[in-house]
């Protein structure tokens, strides 16, 4: 849901701005408890303001209509501690006992903008983490007996907190031994293993030293908001920008993916079509050691956090950036090459909808089927609102793909692959459904006042009127479930896969700067700038501009299918089900303790396109007959069984011989299965370590889904003539 729609909802709920005098009336925060032996990280005024605003938004406009109290405070504390130390590697029992003083006070603290307690907890965590790094670095060169029958407990979640530093040191020492035995089994020399592990731990130490108060605040807010519900999330300014770029499938910059390697920013990939690609001045592996804006002075970025470096390189299209580059293959001490690039808007095509075409044989007939892979429901709202006629969106991309599949590829059917599609824009889910149905309701939305709004496809006509299928899995969520549910409810196609995630809630993305008086932002900017001894800048780097507060995705409504059933918790149940690659008891909305329940509303006024229900038992019968003789299916079931068998494991042997034997056995078993499948498909077997070509990989779920589509076409269209008319037929 975009901000425009959010503002309309706020009008209906009579929102009153509650930040006009926030600085004047705020309570004085408690003094920050300091932790000895660590550089204490402390909150700033903008974070104080943000947490107060988020409390107000949650208490007044979250769908749960929940008020923060001592019970919520207790849950937040437990969630925060678990997020920091899920497997009990760092905190001592005495630390946990110390944190009990905050169990019933976080609700009042957050309401007052007081973050001293969770920052104190984080500083204790940071101290323990640094102690772990210091200790492990002293243990790397120790002599270890890899023939000893000891074990390393890697999952201590259900075990008690460790009471003494000596016992904690023993856990850490076994972690070092585990890292070393893994390297030893890989075949490298002891000296090389010590060098590798030392560098690894020193790199972790370097990264820990770069943690700032925005990182800490993000962790605190994650624990806070996810305690309320799994999908109310706060994003600090850097993460908010990344979230919006992911949604838009575009960003403004030089067109390169970057990574940090040993404190040096390195080009990981050049994006085709971007400034870096067109200039031919940069290559994968080049290192960036300095950045300058336009004709300004260079800043040395060696040792910087990657997000800080990236923010210097990105920028508005049309602006210039200069880079100091050490080309790949040259020593870091060599003279840098200076290049200048003009930033552009980069469209991430590899993360957009794509098509492929497969021809299959079924019962003596040949069928050409188009597959459209949609990774998310994305839309570049910024470009759309600016009037860009070529703005990026899922529906626009898919419409073009359908046109090609229909008119150039001449396909007989289309399958939409929504596996691992976690959702995105509600508007795109509705518009995309409209490509396959001719007008009508797509989804119902119930707001915090229990008002129900029916969102419809209002565009006449369809882009594809032929046989249609949808592939889903456990990671298909939110907008994916709206689309798949609507296709199923209208009888417009067959849904194939596993039960979906079950996310049936609506979030509104709210820029917190829009809710706060600009004069307050200016005052906070001055205070933060004074504390940090630096100039506060916006994401775009304009000096003197108001400080950025980030954004919150606030749960404000629930989704319901046109039948009245919620997608919450239950998700969408496919017409033809496959075994789930993902554990249903660990992944899904019904595994989230703070998730909203399933319920129903009244059915909306919609007319089915076709009644496919009489065909489904026959499709299932044919599917099961194939599966009974399918090596792929048998292999899939064996893989799932092996994963379930390993689910309960919490420890691993540190005996080199036993560990290697276990690994070799698993690898041999996996390789045997792979080769059995390859031989069955006419491919040569591979040996251990061989790289399998991309064109030689196979997707059993996709292949069987196409066979199901062929069955559907044989039943509804046996002579490739007009589809059988059931009620209104396929539109």
| 517-526 LR contacts (CB < 8 Å, sep 24+) | 517/17, 517/19, 517/20, 518/546, 520/19, 520/20, 520/22, 520/23, 520/49, 521/546, 521/547, 521/549, 522/546, 523/23, 524/23, 524/45, 524/46, 524/49
**Among this protein's residues, is 478 annotated catalytic?**
yes
Given 107, 431, 489, 575, which residue is catalytic? 489
**Among this protein's residues, is 95 annotated catalytic?**
no
- In the chain, DSSP finds a helix count (H) and a strand count (E) of 22, 21
Given 48, 503, 558, 565, which residue is catalytic? 503
Task: Give CA–CA dist 341/308, Å, rounded.
Answer: 19
Helix (H, G, I), strand (E, B) or coil at 231: coil
Centroid of chain to Cα 64 = 24
SS (H, E, C) 514-563: HHCCHHHHHHHHHHHHHHHCCCCECCCCCECCCCCCCEEEEEEEEEECCC
- Tokens 């040993």 map to which residue? 262
11 Cβ partners below 8 Å, 6+ apart? none
Helix 190-209 and helix 165-185: axis angle, to 10°? Answer: 130
Structure tokens belonging to residue 487: 């296709």
Helix (H, G, I), strand (E, B) or coil at 511: strand
Q: DSSP assignment of 122-154, as one string? A: HHHHHHHHHHHHHHHHHHTTS---TTS--EEE-
Task: Give CA–CA dist 501/590, Å, rounded.
Answer: 8
Task: Give CA–CA dist 168/139, Å, rounded.
Answer: 14
**Among this protein's residues, is 503 annotated catalytic?**
yes
From 326, 347, 214, select the one nearest 266 (Cα to Cα): 326
Task: Give CA–CA dist 397/375, Å, rounded.
Answer: 12
From 143, 148, 139, 128, select the one nearest 175 (Cα to Cα): 139
CA distances from 111 to 42, 67, 619 (A): 18, 11, 56
From 436, 442, 478, select the one nearest 457 (Cα to Cα): 442
Check if the beta carbon of residue 256 is closer than 8 Å to that of residue 234: no
Structure tokens belonging to residue 502: 């079950």
Check if the beta carbon of residue 571 is closer than 8 Å to that of residue 589: yes
Q: Where are the beta strands (DSSP E) in 25-111?
A: none
Check if the beta carbon of residue 357 is closer than 8 Å to that of residue 371: yes
- Phi then psi for residue 101, to 5 deg, are -60, -20
Check if the beta carbon of residue 15 is closer than 8 Å to that of residue 554: no
Given 425, 476, 478, 604, which residue is catalytic? 478
Give 347: exposed, middle or buried? Use CB within 10 Å, 0-12, 13-18, 19+: buried
- Distance linking the first and last C-alpha atoms of the chain: 28
440 Cβ partners below 8 Å, 6+ apart? 456, 457, 490, 562, 606, 607
Task: Give CA–CA dist 211/259, Å, rounded.
Answer: 17
Residues that are catalytic: 478, 489, 503
């Amino acid at each position: 849901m975009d901000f425009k729609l959010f503002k309309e909802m706020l009008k209906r709920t009579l929102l009153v701005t509650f930040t006009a005098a926030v600085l004047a009336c705020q309570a004085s925060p408690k003094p920050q408890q300091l932790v000895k032996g660590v550089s204490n990280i402390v909150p700033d005024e903008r974070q104080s303001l943000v947490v107060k605003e988020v409390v107000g938004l949650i208490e007044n406009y979250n769908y749960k209509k929940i008020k923060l109290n001592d019970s919520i405070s207790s849950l937040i504390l437990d969630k925060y501690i678990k997020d920091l130390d899920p497997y009990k590697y760092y905190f001592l029992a005495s630390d946990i006992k110390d944190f009990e003083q905050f169990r019933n006070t976080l609700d009042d603290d957050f309401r007052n903008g007081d973050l001293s307690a969770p920052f104190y907890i984080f500083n204790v965590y940071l101290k323990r983490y640094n102690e772990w790094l210091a200790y492990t670095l002293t243990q790397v060169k120790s002599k270890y007996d890899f023939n000893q029958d000891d074990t390393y407990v890697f999952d201590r979640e259900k075990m008690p907190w460790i009471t003494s530093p000596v016992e904690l040191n023993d856990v850490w020492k076994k972690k070092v031994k585990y890292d070393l035995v893994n390297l030893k089994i890989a075949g490298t020399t002891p000296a090389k293993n010590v060098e590798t592990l030392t560098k690894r731990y020193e790199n972790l130490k370097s990264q820990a030293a770069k943690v700032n108060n925005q990182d800490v605040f993000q962790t605190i807010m994650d624990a806070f908001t996810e305690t309320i519900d799994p999908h109310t999330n706060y994003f600090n300014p850097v993460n908010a920008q990344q979230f919006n770029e992911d949604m838009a499938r575009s960003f403004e910059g030089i067109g390169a993916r970057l990574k940090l390697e040993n404190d040096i920013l390195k080009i990981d990939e050049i994006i085709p079509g971007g400034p870096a690609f067109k200039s031919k001045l940069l290559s994968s592996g080049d290192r960036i050691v300095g950045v300058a804006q336009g004709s300004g002075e260079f800043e040395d970025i060696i040792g910087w956090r990657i997000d800080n470096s990236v923010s210097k390189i990105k920028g508005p299209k049309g602006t210039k950036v200069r880079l100091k580059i050490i080309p790949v293959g040259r020593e870091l001490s060599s003279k840098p090459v200076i290049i200048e690039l003009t930033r552009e808007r980069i469209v991430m095509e590899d993360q957009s909808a794509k098509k492929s075409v497969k021809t299959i044989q079924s019962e003596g007939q040949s069928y050409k089927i188009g597959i459209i892979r949609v990774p998310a429901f994305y839309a570049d709202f910024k470009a759309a609102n600016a009037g860009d006629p070529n703005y990026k969106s899922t529906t626009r991309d898919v419409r073009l793909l359908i046109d090609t599949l229909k008119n150039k590829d001449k396909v007989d059917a289309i399958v939409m692959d929504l596996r691992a599609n976690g959702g995105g824009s509600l508007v795109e889910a509705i518009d995309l459904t409209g490509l396959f149905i001719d007008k009508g309701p797509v989804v119902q939305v119930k707001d915090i006042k229990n008002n129900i709004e029916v969102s419809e496809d209002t565009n006449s006509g369809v882009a594809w009127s032929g046989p249609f299928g949808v592939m889903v899995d456990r990671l298909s969520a939110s907008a994916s479930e709206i689309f798949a549910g609507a296709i199923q409810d209208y009888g417009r196609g067959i849904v194939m896969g596993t039960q979906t995630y079950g996310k049936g809630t609506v979030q509104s993305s709210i820029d917190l700067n829009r809710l706060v008086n600009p004069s307050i932002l200016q005052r906070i900017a001055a205070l933060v700038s004074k504390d940090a001894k630096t100039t506060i800048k916006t994401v775009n780097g304009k000096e003197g501009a108001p400080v950025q507060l980030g954004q919150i995705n606030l749960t404000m409504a629930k989704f319901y299918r046109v039948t009245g059933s919620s997608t919450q918790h239950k998700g969408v149940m496919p017409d033809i089900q496959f075994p789930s690659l993902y554990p249903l008891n660990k992944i899904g909305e019904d595994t989230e303790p703070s998730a909203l329940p399933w319920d129903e509303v009244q059915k909306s006024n919609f007319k089915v396109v076709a009644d496919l229900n009489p065909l489904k038992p026959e499709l299932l019968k044919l599917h099961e007959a194939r599966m009974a003789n399918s090596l792929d299916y048998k292999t899939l079931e064996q893989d799932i069984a092996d994963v379930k068998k390993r689910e309960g494991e919490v420890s691993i042997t540190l005996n080199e011989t036993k560990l290697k034997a276990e690994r070799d056995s698993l690898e041999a078993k996996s390789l045997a299965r792979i080769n059995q499948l390859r031989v069955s498909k006419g491919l040569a077997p591979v040996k251990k370590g061989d790289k399998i070509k991309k064109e030689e990989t196979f997707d059993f779920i996709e292949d069987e889904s196409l066979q199901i589509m062929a069955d559907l076409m044989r039943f509804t269209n046996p002579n490739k003539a007009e589809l059988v008319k059931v009620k209104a037929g396929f539109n």
